[in-house]
């Protein structure tokens, strides 16, 4: 137990605890509002009077006074925080003394956690790039005109679910795992466990083709591994496409082929990440695809 209190106030970790609390609070607010609005819609009471764009108020003083009050409270909070708690300062930088564990700044710990499951070029470069590009693409691939300017879940089930999963689970939860559950040697420690710098966990991981008795470094193994990845994306794109086409889906028609491919690629990349985490943890899968130049 002493360990968790130690970790909680170590370095910048209280910030991450605060981060967790703030996110949970706002998730509750957002979904409560969404459920409330959805209920109003079901009961035919939508839009409520104040939602109509005709009901406008002047920025001065109604908006400006609010900004002013919020500014005062935030500044007060930061000042009190700065008085009560000191910023961390460790020993003089020394390239010859590597701390164990060495951790990136807290907001990158989700990516560092990914390093357990992926090679650095995927965890540290490909995923961050896909996240940035994917986020920027959202307004251009989400063509659903509903839910513009109010909280709702029912009208945007797919969009809200995917984003909530990506942000809350793949970003926030992995950061919290990286901060509070990863100890020496980047091993998993529960908060009540003491970190043991000498702990050795013998873990043998296998490449995908080794499960079916084929050397993953051989040409055959590489071809099979590559096919698995390609088939994953291909089937992931083709099957929903075929189903939607058969149903004569209006969404698919509006989306168009290129947008559909972009959505499907980003979506299956995100899901693939979770699948790999699952396979590593449960089946000790190391790589699905081994080539002389890169491994996935």
Partner 1 sequence: MDKKGDAKIKEVITSSQIWKSIFRRKHDDTKRSRVLAIVGNFFMHLHPISVARHALALKFTWCMGGVTFLLFLFLTLGGVLLMFYYHPTTGEAYWDIKDLHYSVPFGKILRNTHRWGGHLMVITVMVHMFRVFMTGSYKRPREFNWSIGVILLVFTLLLSFTGYLLTWDQLGMWAITVGTNMARATPLLGHEGPFGEQLGMTAHNDVRFALLGGSVVGANALLRAYVWHCIAIPLIVTFLIGVHFWRVRKDGFSGSL
Of 216-255, binders to partner 1 (CB under 8 A) are none
Cβ atoms of 269 and 114 closer than 8 Å: no
User: Treating both helix axes as pointing N-terminal to C-terminal, what angle do 250-283 and 219-246 enclose, rounded to 10 degrees?
Assistant: 140
Query: 290: burial class by Cβ within 10 Å (0-12, 13-18, 19+)?
Result: buried
Which of 1, 2, 43, 140 is close enough to bind partner 1 by CB under 8 A? 140
**Site map 52..81 versus partner 1, x via CB under 8 A:** -x-xxxxxxxxxx-xx--xx--xx--xx-x
**Site map 1..40 versus partner 1, x via CB under 8 A:** ----------xx--x--xx--xx--xx-xx--xx------
Question: Interaction with partner 1 in 153-192: which residues (CB under 8 A)?
Answer: 156, 160, 163, 167, 171
Minimum Å gap between C-beta 14 and partner 1 is 9
Strand partners, 206: 285
Which residue from 101, 83, 71 is spatially nearest to 181, judged by alpha carbons? 101
Alpha-carbon 286 to chain mean position = 22
Q: Which is nearer to partner 1, 42 or 99 (CB)?
A: 99
For residue 213, state whether it binds partner 1 (rule: CB under 8 A). no
CA-to-CA distance for 234 and 290, rounded, in angstroms?
Answer: 19
Q: Which range, of 86-94, 208-216, 218-226, 274-282, touches partner 1 by CB under 8 A?
A: 86-94
Minimum Å gap between C-beta 196 and partner 1 is 20
89: tokens are: 């300062």
Q: Which is nearer to partner 1, 31 or 241 (CB)?
A: 31
């Amino acid at each position: 137990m002493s360990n968790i209190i130690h970790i909680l106030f170590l370095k910048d970790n209280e910030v991450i605890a605060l981060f967790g609390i703030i996110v949970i609070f706002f998730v509750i607010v957002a979904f409560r509002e969404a459920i409330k609005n959805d209920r109003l819609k079901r009961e035919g009471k939508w839009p409520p009077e104040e939602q109509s764009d005709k009901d406008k108020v002047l920025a001065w003083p109604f908006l400006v006074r609010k900004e002013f009050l919020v500014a005062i409270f935030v500044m007060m909070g930061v000042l009190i925080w700065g008085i009560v708690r000191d910023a961390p300062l460790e020993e003089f930088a020394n390239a010859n003394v590597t701390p164990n564990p060495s951790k990136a700044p807290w907001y990158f710990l989700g990516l560092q956690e990914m390093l357990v499951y992926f090679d650095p070029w995927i965890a540290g470069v490909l995923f961050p790039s896909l996240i940035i590009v994917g986020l920027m693409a959202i307004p251009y691939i989400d063509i659903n005109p509903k839910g513009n300017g109010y909280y709702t879940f029912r009208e945007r089930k797919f969009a809200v679910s995917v984003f909530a999963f990506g942000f809350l689970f793949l970003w926030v939860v992995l950061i919290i795992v990286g901060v509070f559950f990863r100890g020496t040697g980047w091993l998993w420690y529960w908060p009540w466990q003491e970190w043991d710098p000498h702990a050795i966990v013998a873990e043998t991981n296998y490449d995908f083709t080794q499960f079916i008795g084929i050397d993953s470094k051989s040409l055959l193994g590489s071809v099979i591994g590559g096919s698995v990845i390609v088939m994953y994306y291909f089937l992931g794109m083709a099957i929903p496409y075929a189903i939607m086409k058969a149903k004569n889906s209006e969404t698919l028609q509006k989306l168009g082929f290129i947008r559909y491919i972009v959505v499907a690629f980003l979506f299956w990349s995100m899901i693939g990440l979770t699948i790999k985490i699952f396979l590593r943890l449960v089946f000790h899968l190391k790589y699905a695809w081994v080539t002389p130049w890169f491994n996935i």
